[in-house]
Amino acid sequence: MTTENLQSNANPRPKEIEHELDEKGYFNRQKNRFTTPFGDGESKLPIEAGRYRLIWSKGCHWSNRTSIVRELLGLEEAISVNLVKHGEHGQDVGWEFLYDENGTDPVLGVQFLRELYTNAEQNYEGRATVPAVVDITTKKVVNNDYVWLTNYLENEFAPFHKPGAPDLYPIHLREAIDKYNDFLFHNVNNGVYKAMFARSIEAYNDAYNQLFSALDTIEETLDTNRFLFGDYVTDSDVRLFVTLARFDTDYFKYLGPLRNRIVDFKNIWGYARDLYEIPAFKNNTYLRDIVKSNGNKSILFVDFNTRFWDQIDYEGLWSTPHDRQTKSADPEQKFFTGQAGGF
């Protein structure tokens, strides 16, 4: 489908500030539409290797966490992957397969993510979001539920994990992890957006204060814990990391006067670098792309990171030494695999 055809046959991408703000100026993120869980049974999506394709974007932390977990667990052969980004058109038509030859996904044969959403629901009116899991056999989006998607990879897709894959969602911690993930969502992951999209000073102040209060709590936790739940990385660490990776490189431009940058939190900054050392985190975190894609350095007044994105040594900055291993009883291991000492 060409851009012209898509624009004539589909609504433009809905704008958050027009459709996801309440009367008081508070941002309320759209609910995920395709939430059928993976698992056994007629009402669930079947667990099959090679059937699904994960669509994500370098700049989107909601999808970035799914790509990190996919690699951590060794699911590269079980679930294929492709990247999308936004193009430049007369109207915003959402995510496109611009990294591929002819701008077309080689497996799904489409140019725009929205096509896969309308394949699943002809009159779909929401934003076509990432992550999106597509059934290759039908070319339909079957799940875009970022809230639970990493957990499905950790649990339901366990038969396809690589040998010695980390246990990111240990059964005895699941209730605590779910509760903590809810805290992260409201105050940090979505908290930055609630501040950035706020259209009243009341909504902004509430979101801003909740965000930094949460970061203070996390900083205190990480003063004694190497990771959020102790000695080993869990699903919660992935969810926090993807927001931290974007905070000083992108989000800061829209948050107003910053009380702290991430590099100003001693424990959080060391923790973020500790995670970045892990190949799956580093391989799926495109720091320079996050910066470059968000501004035009040719205009007179432009933010610091956009002006100097091609001169800042992000790799060097994120690879500076830390002493986080001293906070662990198992300093040589970052993951629980069933063979370590246990949580």
Q: Which of 60, 146, 169, 208 is catalytic?
A: 60
Closest to 92 in 3D by CA, of 145, 23, 19: 19
Whether 271 is catalytic: no
Amino acid found at 16: E
Contact between 55 and 134 under an 8 Å Cβ cutoff? The reply is yes
Give, for 175, the enclosing helix (H) or strand (E).
helix 174-184
180 included as an active-site residue: no
Residue 177 has, within 13 A of its CA and on its CB side, a CA count of: 26
Buried b (16+ CB within 10 A) or exposed e, 218-236: bbebbeebbbbbbbbbbbb
The one catalytic residue among 117, 193, 271, 286? 193
> End-to-end CA distance of the chain, in Å?
51
Closest-CA residue to 46 (of 137, 145, 150, 168) = 137
Q: 3-state SS of the chain: helix, strand, coil percent to 5?
A: 45, 10, 50
Query: For strand 140-143 and strand 132-135, is the pairing parallel, antiparallel, or unpaired?
Result: antiparallel
Look up residue 67 and give its two tokens: 């790509």
CA 81/CA 271 separation, integer angstroms: 28
Residues catalogued as catalytic: 60, 193
